[in-house]
Amino acid sequence: MTIEEILTEAIQGEVESYELYTNAATMVKAPHIKETLLELAQEELGHKAMLENMLAHPASLRRGVKRLRSEPIQDYKVGDHLVVKPLTPDSTFQDVLIFASRKEQQSHELYRDLAEENEGEIRDLFEAMARDELRHKDLVERWYEEVVYQDF
């Protein structure tokens, strides 16, 4: 695969994630859950825009990869062992956060595995993308800790 093909596929993945979150937002009833899903959708659009910039301006690729690789990220694995339920109109905030955490974890694992199978710039790109998905997971899990654990 070329870097252009990788970026094009990654952009499509971000579009699919955006659609998943916006479709889920139309499904749930609670306004605060809708808001969270729409925030997650906006995160995906931001990631898509960054990837499109890398595709349109190859010189920005190294800067983008460097930026993604330099951001501190900690995987607390909060959602790794929780049961994921399909999203329904009656999904709770906790259900949505667990679902989103698992989705981001799956994306992280995909990019991590692709990084392991490649070398050079392509490996660097996949590693950076894996870190960014882990950053999304961290964001969702911090929300989970702030909201769900506060209820205990």
Q: What is the pLDDT along the chain (152 residues), one digit of tens a residue?
A: 788 888 898 899 899 989 988 988 898 888 888 898 899 899 899 889 988 988 888 777 677 667 666 666 777 777 777 888 888 888 888 888 888 889 889 888 988 998 898 888 888 888 888 888 888 888 888 888 887 777 55
Given 1.10.150, 1.10.10, 1.10.510, 1.20.1260, which CATH number is that of 3-74+82-151? Answer: 1.20.1260
Please report, for the chain, the start and end positions of each structural domain, with discontinuous segments joined by +.
3-74+82-151
d(CA 144, CA 78): 8
Three-state secondary structure call for residue 49: helix
pTM assigned to the model: 0.77
d(CA 9, CA 6): 5
74 CB neighbour count, 10 Å cutoff:
10
Residue 108, burial from CB neighbour count under 10 angstroms (0-12, 13-18, 19+): buried
